[in-house]
Chains A and B, each alone.
Chain A
């Protein structure tokens, strides 16, 4: 009955109740939502690449290797020779490899030399394969495939010519514009860094650099023309930058990693992408702690707002308290009533907040995925989130004690005489 009374009392002050519950709801939504976004970001991040057991590059830092091979940031210190890659590609414990040859760009987007394995084997986010939305994989020397983001930003379509720049500057000082690359395919959107790159064949990368072996543009008279390249029987591929590796069995991964890292032929580093991504995430996770602390303070502000709203309502409710006193309600009963009201408000606010989170997620999920490539999963609240919601309700009850203490004193003082 006390609950009934508390409910009706709140309903009686509908506007204040709604506003107070809303402010709590928003703060809870923020707290729970931040947690959701955090989880979503972490999962999107660690699922940038999946199904790959090892990523191998020249010896160096694991994070650096991840950055240039998975995220398209920074550049490798050294390359891997074609023969070394082939050695591991043909290793009995290795099922497949995807070679990456980096170093060139087109209007700020990376150009990656790879081969057919990329289209067949590359997996992201829980094992989804990459698919072409238009055209076909690049096979010929001067064929290229655009990532979805590249295609939409630059507005290129099938058949359009693309000039590749040596190095990574957006405005290439040294355009290989004598090499007539053109678009043969466009990848479907993956919401990973795959979307922001251009894919050519390993031979294509070699062709770009013919005559550049010294590292500088060819001397006049030594340029290699496109027709010359096309006339070649076989274009030599001497180097790649890194390769993704799938083992015959997961069980071989650690042994392979050890073997590759200690290989005497060439100094190599092999990382397990899941572990390295998690390690990298921990490095940048302190920012999310800041976000979480801020949202906790927002919750505190919401609870304080509720406290104030109940406290200020007390003056108008002195008569009500006197009636309850006359009916035999002890001061403790009046305290319970107010604490119950506060708890109820916090509970309603918390539920509403959770509803906001789910509603907001349903509305914003496709947009977030499209805009930022972050898939925030819609699923039941996890333990941490439930603990947050519970803490808000408990905090609400506790906050109710403040106005309740005031009502207790007033009730004792007023007795049956309060006139309003």
Chain B
């Protein structure tokens, strides 16, 4: 019952870490392709687990979670790694960057370590890196050491990296929580613009409800997850 216009489709998704109690029980969650979804997830709501499942780091029961038309639970772990490499860009809350690589190498990292992402980049990688950096306004920082960057600059580098090769799904895990309000909005504007240009779906997780209005739709994970006692 996969609909190709769905980017993420969870249907009766239940998950428990081996031997532990169930931590996630989602009746249904649908994210359409191209949608910008704000997932409101306070700590303890199963946010980490859900993102791990969508990104294919954790394995759900077969048939309960489809990402970009793939039944994640039916894939082998290396197939899930390939799915993530090719189709998903991921931005962490902070510490997104490899400290010993410069900005340029950090942005290029996904296409360098996996061939799946490399195939999505037309032409020379260097040009794609410069273009992605330009989109997020950090082209003059390309040769900097990442340890010299401010947190805001680091998050832009992380976003540029996630967007390189225009993956279908961008998962942003509280990417703005380390930024102050002004920068938060500036960052989101850039992110939205870039996601739109890439035609990607954006799954944005945060516990900061003030941002919810900027998105197409907002979903409360705490309400969605039956395992969380309100």
Once A5-B113, A328-B110, A328-B114 are accepted as A-B contacts, the answer to whether A415 and B78 lie under 8 Å apart by CB is no
CB distance B57 to A325 under 8 Å? yes
Closest Cβ of chain B: how far from A418's Cβ, in Å?
9
Inter-chain contact B100/A327, CB cutoff 8 Å: no
- A323 in contact with B100 (CB, 8 Å): no
A328–B82 contact, CB under 8 A? Answer: yes
Cα distance, A403 to B88, chains bound together (Å) = 29
For residue A235, which residues in chain B have a CB less than 8 angstroms away from its CB? none
Q: How far is the CA of A328 from the CA of B105 in the complex (A)?
A: 16
Quick check: is B51 within 8 A (CB to CB) of the other chain? yes
B84: Cβ under 8 A from any A Cβ = yes
| Least distance between A125 CB and chain B CB atoms (Å) | 53
Q: Give the contacts of A268-312 with B (CB-CB under 8 A).
A: none
Whether B96 pairs with A328 at a CB distance below 8 angstroms is: no
Does B86 interact with chain A (Cβ within 8 Å)? yes
| Cβ-based interface call for B48 (8 A) | yes
CB distance from A14 to the nearest CB of B (A): 10
* A231: min CB distance to chain B, Å: 93
Tell me if B101 is interfacial: C-beta within 8 Å of chain A: yes
**Most-contacted residue by chain A among B51, B84, B116, B117 (CB, 10 A):** B84
Which residue of A11, A12, A319, A417 contacts B48 across the interface (Cβ within 8 Å)? A417
At the interface, yes or no: B55 with Cβ under 8 Å from chain A? yes
Which residues from A are CB-within-8-Å of B84?
326-328
Asked if B39 is at the interface (CB within 8 A of a chain A CB), the reply is: no
**Closest CB of chain B to A131's CB: distance in Å?**
61
| A1→B104 CA distance, assembly (Å) | 13
Report how far A325 CA is from B109 CA in the complex, Å.
11
A93 within 8 A of B: no
A415 adjacent to B57 (CB under 8 Å): yes
Instruction: Assess the A320–B114 pair: CB atoms within 8 A.
Output: no
Interface membership of chain B positions 75-96, coded 1 if the CB is closer than 8 angstroms to chain A and 0 otherwise:
0011001101110101010011
* A45 vs B24: C-alpha distance when bound (angstroms): 79
Is A326 a contact partner of B81 (Cβ separation < 8 A)?
no
Q: Complex formed: what's the CA distance from A420 to B99 in Å?
A: 13
**Would you give the shortest CB distance from A10 to chain B, in whole angstroms?**
9
Interface size on B, residues (CB 8 A): 33
Contacts A2-B113, A4-B105; is A328 near B98 (CB within 8 Å)? Answer: no
When A323-B98, A330-B77, A416-B90 are in contact, do A4 and B112 touch as well, CB less than 8 Å?
yes
C-alpha gap A261/B76 in the complex (Å): 82
Q: Is B98's CB under 8 angstroms from A330's CB? A: no
In the assembled complex, the CB of B147 is this many whole angstroms from the nearest CB of chain A, namely 10
Kindly state whether residue A9 has any CB partner on chain B within 8 Å: yes
Contact check, B48 vs A327: say whether CB atoms are below 8 A apart: no
**Cβ B92 vs Cβ A327 within 8 A:** no
Is residue A333 within 8 Å, beta carbon to beta carbon, of the partner chain? Answer: yes
A395: shortest Cβ distance to chain B, in Å?
26
Instruction: Answer whether residue A409 sits at the interface, using C-beta atoms and an 8 A cutoff.
Output: no
Can you name the residue of chain B whose Cβ is closest to the Cβ of A9? B100
Asked whether A330 lies within 8 Å of B81 as measured between CB atoms, the reply is yes
Contact check, A319 vs B113: say whether CB atoms are below 8 A apart. no
Q: State how many angstroms separate the Cβ of A186 from the closest Cβ of chain B.
A: 64
Q: Are B52 and A327 in contact (CB-based, < 8 A)? A: no
A332 contacts the other chain (Cβ, under 8 Å)?
yes
Q: Determine if A324 is an interface residue (Cβ-Cβ < 8 Å).
A: yes
CA distance A5 to B112 in the complex (A): 9
| A174 contacts partner chain B, Cβ-Cβ < 8 Å | no
Binary B-proximity of A313-326 (CB < 8 A = 1, otherwise 0):
00000011001111
Q: Does B195 contact A (CB under 8 A)?
A: no
Which of B81, B95, B105, B109 is close to A319, meaning CB atoms less than 8 Å apart? B95
A408 to chain B, nearest CB (A): 12
Output the least CB separation between A320 and chain B (Å). Answer: 6
Nearest residue in A to B173 (C-beta to C-beta)? A416
Query: Given A8-B101, A416-B57, A416-B92 in contact, is the A327-B51 Cβ separation under 8 Å?
Result: no
The residue of chain A having its C-beta at the shortest distance from the C-beta of B158 within the complex is: A323
Contacts of A5 in B (CB 8 A): 98, 101, 109, 112-113
Q: How long is the Cα–Cα vector from A2 to B161 in the complex, in angstroms?
A: 17
Q: Is B129 interfacial (CB 8 A cutoff)?
A: no
For the complex, is A329 an interface residue (Cβ under 8 Å from B)? yes
What are the residues of chain B within 8 A of A416 when measuring CB–CB? 51-52, 55, 57, 90, 92, 173
Q: Apart from A327-B161, A329-B85, what are 10 other A-B pairs with CB-CB below 8 Å?
A: A4-B112, A319-B95, A323-B97, A324-B109, A326-B55, A327-B110, A329-B114, A330-B77, A415-B57, A416-B51
Instruction: Give 5 A-B contacts (CB < 8 Å), ordered by A residue.
Output: A5-B98, A12-B100, A328-B88, A415-B57, A415-B58
Chain A residues close to B by CB (< 8 Å): 1-2, 4-5, 8-9, 11-12, 319-320, 323-333, 415-417, 419-420
**Closest 9 interchain pairs by CB?**
A328-B85, A12-B100, A1-B112, A330-B81, A415-B57, A326-B90, A327-B110, A328-B114, A328-B84
